[in-house]
Amino acid sequence: MIQKMKGFWVVMSEKTGRVFGRYKTKPKAVHRLQQVEFFKHLKAGTIKPKLRKPNLAR
């Protein structure tokens, strides 16, 4: 959940109220919320990460 508090956009947990970060702009807060949701689903096993192959030509 994103809320405006004291001039900042705050990303918070809906269940616990834990703060995941304070941001000056709403787009940055939305980006962080997407990151939190991604890792929540990754941990639950509902999505699988795309792994990159290492570039051996370096």
One digit per residue, pLDDT tens: the chain, 58 residues? 999 999 999 999 999 999 999 999 999 999 999 999 988 888 777 777 677 777 777 6
Which class for 10: exposed (0-12), middle (13-18), buried (19 or more C-beta within 10 A)? middle
Cα 23 to Cα 13, 28, 36, distances in angstroms: 15, 6, 14
Q: Beta strands of the chain (E only): which ranges?
A: 2-5, 8-12, 19-23
Contacts 24+ apart (CB under 8 A), 29-37: 29/2, 30/2, 33/1, 33/2, 36/11
Verdict on whether the full-model pTM lies above 0.85: no
What pLDDT does residue 6 have?
94
